[in-house]
Chain A
Amino acid sequence: MGCSSSLPDRSAGRLSGLNNAENSGVPDAKNLRVKLVLLGDSGVGKSCIVLRFVRGQFDPTSKVVTVGASFLSQTIALQDSTTVKFEIWDTAGQERYAALAPLYYRGAGVAVIVYDITSPESFTKAQYWVKELQKHGSPDIVMALVGNKADLHENREVPVQDGIDYAEKNGMFFIETSAKTADNINQLFEEIAKRLPRPSSS
């Protein structure tokens, strides 16, 4: 053990929430890069949202339980010709990783907190994550509340209005999505991109 001290100290800068074209070292207001973390109960569809966004896929037969956290990235172009590169941490929702969550949300510029509209427990869990981030996340973090599995509206147990109200009270952006039908998936990430703080272009 004890090799951490010998690690090159290059991670510090990289973990900061919003980083502009870090490799070139020149700040670039047109090309943003942001660390985004997905949080929420196990099974609400976090991995499906990411895979739909990054790879355009949805496999209803897949039963892949996330271990630890997966890392994926995707760049989108906005109307004003800026690009945003999302470095996405898809975390495992299991309880054993709860204590390790700070590892993933530390320094994140964006937190996407997901619940399943058919599961009130997952909505409760989402509120837990919101509080946790308000306490321990970066102060200027952009937070989004996502009600996923909107295609299952016959089984809805969390009213849309509850989501809207809670998000509003906590200064969050709210959207309902379906990873299955791809409904609102791109919109989610575009809206987040628009809300990112821009570096002053001077």
Chain B
Amino acid sequence: MSLDSSSSSSSGDEYIEENPNSNPKMVDERFEVLTLTEPVELESNHRGDGSEIENGSLNRERNGGDEDDDRLRVENQEIFGDAGPSSPSSSGYAGERGSSSATSASRIDEASEIDDNEIREVRNDGSLEGISDSQASSWVPGKRHIDEDDASISWRKRKKHFFILSNSGKPIYSRYGDEHKLAGFSATLQAIISFVENGGDRVKLVKAGKHQVVFLVKGPIYLVCISCTEEPFESLKGQLELIYGQMILILTKSINRCFEKNPKFDMTPLLGGTDVVFSSLIHSFSWNPATFLHAYTCLPLAYATRQAAGAILQDVADSGVLFAILMCKHKVISLVGAQKASLHPDDMLLLSNFVMSSESFRTSESFSPICLPRYNPMAFLYAYVHFLDVDTYLMLLTTSSDAFYHLKDCRIRIEMVLLKSNVLSEVQRSMIDGGMRVEDLPIDPLPRFGSSPHLGQQRPPTDSPERPTEPFIGIGGPAGLWHFIYRSIYLDQYVSSEFSPPLNSPRQQKRLYRAYQRLFASMHDKGIGPHKTQFRRDENCVLLCWVTQDFELYAAFDPLADKALAIKTCNRVCQWVKDVENEIFLQGASPFSW
């Protein structure tokens, strides 16, 4: 089974319009052609920086398969200062515009004072869970502030609003407050959108002081984000796309027909009880990098363990199951698709969000209609869902509405095999042990054909009695490396290092994700053309991004980190990822392996 990498790399893919609407306004989503982009300075900023960044790109010549070519080289150009086209007012990166590499050179000594051995000693004690876990547990699901409406000061002060409304101005969903009380506000939004649409343009961004208002029009459905979080337009638009996708997952795109029959159609009853699904998705925008990377992540497991899980899922897929997916929280253990069927990472994200946020799936096995918007937005599939333990769940998707008993039999078989081959206990262990930690980054490249490297080989066993019990102050990994995300373009998967000190608080972690998200948006901005590296330094951290044909690496360092060392460290991270790829990625999920 495989994921279609070609469509996943762009964040703003439109959903396929199955039935071209006869209404000329909606024939297609002509964002590029008929677009009112405000403000104008966004445009000029855009152009002005484009060349700068391109000049700054490192020259990476590809000469057929030379391994050294995949190394990030130290070069003199440093890209400073600009947050890219989508957040012109960003304060984050403005600080060091124009500073030279001499600044960082003077810091080399400081940086090299950090002795490698010291870093090795400072180890994560295993008590720190990934952000997803720690944040997910402190986060209370469901809609808050239901009593608010647009007249409440508290409502107006919320940093980020999301709305769904119909093109007749009827509220469908609001992140905060009661939809019905927001009817007037909804009508205002609708008026703005239709005013511009009637002029033949399509409004997509309005800036008002600190606030950005992003619109997304999907046939009869309008989606709006009002935010003062300084996230780039592309990111916010991507989030609206996901919210729309979540709605399609619950209802399919056939709801459009209800609006054709009755423009004043009230959709809220159809979404009854799904507040938690949307609020959990919106929450994941600030902790789950899959929401902007358009890739999924795997639970780290020994190759043989994942193989064992994959084999039994494959067995089941051969008996007429469209997709068989085994997950632990938001991480994939294994997944298999029937011949030629491929699952988009965004669909996986939306499906796992739906299942994890709906408590009902945990009480018993269930069989529910769901739609995968990227797979086929018009049709329901049927999902057999069963939780094997608190965090681990199996999803079997089929096109056949009477397949329940067959899927139930499949699940019983799968569960037996997973128990016998200890997959479930390995999953539990991996949950406790966690994934890659920057402190464990090997100092010297591991011998290519040595004993197989493991993720945490230098770590003491988690149940070791001498493990430090008091919280410690860490300084991250070698060369001030704090964190990294590696996204394999070919596999549509990413791996993110565990959070460790000094990235302790959810707040810091969220800030880092926002920074990555900005980087991602600027690296993927079509207007400035592909560029390959960025190095940004501000008072909070150093961010390094490196994009090749095969992968993207996002790394965060101490603000005092030396540039040359940071680049060297990134090369080591990439080598490390390659060395352990059999444990962190699901292999052989490419479309051509069939």
Which residues of A are in contact with B by a Cβ distance under 8 Å?
A: 1-4, 6-8, 10-12, 14-15, 42, 47, 51, 62-72, 90, 92, 94-97, 100, 103
> B154: shortest Cβ distance to chain A, in Å?
24
The answer to whether B398 and A3 have CB atoms under 8 Å apart is yes
Given contacts A15-B405, A64-B359, A68-B366, whether A7 and B271 have CB atoms under 8 Å apart is: no
The answer to whether A12 and B402 have CB atoms under 8 Å apart is yes
The answer to whether B405 and A95 have CB atoms under 8 Å apart is no
Given contacts A94-B272, A96-B250, A97-B369, whether A70 and B399 have CB atoms under 8 Å apart is: no
Interface centre among A2, A7, A8 (most CB of B within 10 A): A7
The answer to whether A4 and B398 have CB atoms under 8 Å apart is yes
> B51: shortest Cβ distance to chain A, in Å?
47
**B575 interface contact, C-beta 8 A:** no
Interface centre among A8, A62, A66, A95 (most CB of B within 10 A): A66
The answer to whether A68 and B273 have CB atoms under 8 Å apart is no
Docked complex Cα distance between A15 and B364 (Å): 19
Residues of B near A90 (CB, < 8 A) are 364
Residues of B near A72 (CB, < 8 A) are 364
**B270 interface contact, C-beta 8 A:** yes
The answer to whether A3 and B361 have CB atoms under 8 Å apart is no
Per a CB cutoff under 8 Å, which of A14, A65, A69 touches B367? Answer: A69
**B122 interface contact, C-beta 8 A:** no
Docked complex Cα distance between A64 and B322 (Å): 28
Residues of B near A47 (CB, < 8 A) are 360, 363
Inter-chain contact total with CB atoms closer than 8 Å: 105
Nearest neighbor of A89 in chain B, beta-carbon distance: B367
**B338 interface contact, C-beta 8 A:** yes
Interface CB pairs A-B, < 8 A, 30? A1-B376, A2-B399, A3-B320, A3-B321, A3-B399, A3-B400, A4-B400, A6-B320, A7-B398, A8-B406, A10-B406, A11-B403, A11-B404, A42-B273, A64-B359, A65-B358, A67-B354, A67-B358, A67-B366, A68-B366, A68-B369, A68-B383, A70-B363, A70-B365, A71-B365, A92-B273, A94-B270, A96-B269, A96-B270, A100-B380
Top-7 shortest CB links A-B: A68-B368, A65-B273, A7-B320, A4-B400, A11-B402, A96-B270, A64-B359
**B401 interface contact, C-beta 8 A:** yes
Docked complex Cα distance between A22 and B361 (Å): 27
Docked complex Cα distance between A65 and B363 (Å): 11
Interface centre among A66, A67, A92 (most CB of B within 10 A): A67
6 further interface pairs, Cβ-Cβ under 8 Å (given A95-B272, A96-B269, A103-B369): A2-B399, A7-B403, A14-B405, A47-B360, A65-B359, A71-B366
Residues of A near B322 (CB, < 8 A) are 1, 3
Residues of A near B361 (CB, < 8 A) are 67
Interface residues of B in 286-321 (CB under 8 A from A): 319-321
Residues of B near A69 (CB, < 8 A) are 366-368
Docked complex Cα distance between A185 and B298 (Å): 44
> B405: shortest Cβ distance to chain A, in Å?
5
